[in-house]
Structure 1
């Protein structure tokens, strides 16, 4: 990707939000349209979970898990057109989306030492995109749970992307099961509501912090949500241009 604007360089867009709010798909699309890199920090926690399970570790053993995560060779592909996740030479992009990982990832995301390690890696990736990286220095859209408050509190644009529980459950059910009927929503509830409840014990992502813009997508379509986030970014960084 090449820089699309010359007056604004190294733009950082930080987006947080609960499960099913549309963070990943919306942020990836916004990054693609602005020529920015895309960082899915949730995928980093999933990759760490995959790595620890692959090593045969008890995820409840926080010391062993932390040591394994610190030694993990994690490689994040940040081109929004083809994002990928590798641990060493293994592409785990598909494996980390399996139900077994979804059900276990909170054991790592609530481990404060693991969070500190991955937060440091996230800051390094974001800093690289400010000056060079896969975006050629144009910048990055980073999304997760604590990007606006912990990882990149100095981001140019900070947004909490949220939606009603009903809307989030329906979206995740459609994504996972291909339907949003009552049975699919019920099957999805534990992963969405349960993970949010666990993660909220270590990070606040339900309420916008000072200086963080709130974007509620409950009544918005995917394209309307993308347009709303694009407008927020371009208001701060008008030197960028959309594709």
Structure 2
């Protein structure tokens, strides 16, 4: 097994539409690691608030919701499920109304602190053998990860990919709001577009899916100074 008996946390940050989720899942599968989509946690809290008619502008209520909900996630890449208080919300948390509201929850510092606490606990529960992706993983959640990188792409590439992901159901204006608007809102609480010291950058603008996976695995190989499976 890769680095048997040793930690291997791969921390991946990046903007919307950069391919973080799909690439991170594939990397986790190939390296035999667990996988955590931290964005799904923020979406789950958002779903819970909207479903329970909690005012997202009520900072204290949103923070309390983040602390109180029972949140379950499958950490096996390729077998995604998310539950909130026993209710399966894997599909609903990807709906446009959640995408439009999630930045408000992500910008709530109390809710963010609670979810960061949960994320760190999950990393520990996985014996520090996990790929974790999101917005503040390389600097806040796992600043001591064995491999840290930002996965980015040009604005044009990110809009195109998100449009394909949504099956052409969104207008260009809606796509820009989902991708660029969300990035602007989230950047008020965390800098996920500029690599901190010791963080590698992978620009996938001109790479296909397999090439991007290979580039990320190359970064992991370089970071841990080991030969890894391609």
Does residue 143 of the first structure (1) align with residue 140 of the second (2)?
Answer: no
1:78 and 2:57 correspond = no
Aligned partners of 1:226, 1:233: CA distance in 2, in Å? 11
Which 10-residue stretch deviates more, 169-178 or 28-37? Answer: 169-178
User: What's the CA shift for 1:238?
Assistant: 6.1
1:165 to 155, 158, 161: 155
Secondary structure of the structure 2 residue equivalent to 1:26? helix
Give the CA deviation at 1:169: 0.5
Is 1:190 paired with 2:177?
yes
Distance 1:201 1:109 in 2: 10
CA distance in 2, matches of 1:237, 1:108: 35
Cα distance in 2, alignment partners of residues 185 and 217 from structure 1: 21
TM-score, reference length from structure 1:
0.90
Q: CA deviation at 1:172?
A: 0.3
Q: Is the 8 A contact 1:161 1:214 kept in 2?
A: yes
User: Is 1:57 paired with 2:54?
Assistant: yes
User: Gaps (5+ residues) in structure 1?
Assistant: 132-138
Q: Distance in 1 between matches of 2:68 and 2:4?
A: 39
> Deviating runs (4+, > 2 A) in structure 1?
4-10, 183-187, 234-243
- Conserved 8 A contact 1:7-1:239: no
CA distance in 2, matches of 1:80, 1:240: 22
Please tell me the root mean square deviation across aligned C-alpha atoms, in Å. Answer: 1.7
How many angstroms apart in 2 are the aligned matches of 1:241 and 1:86? 34
How many aligned positions are there?
Answer: 230
Deviation of the 1:102 alpha carbon: 0.3
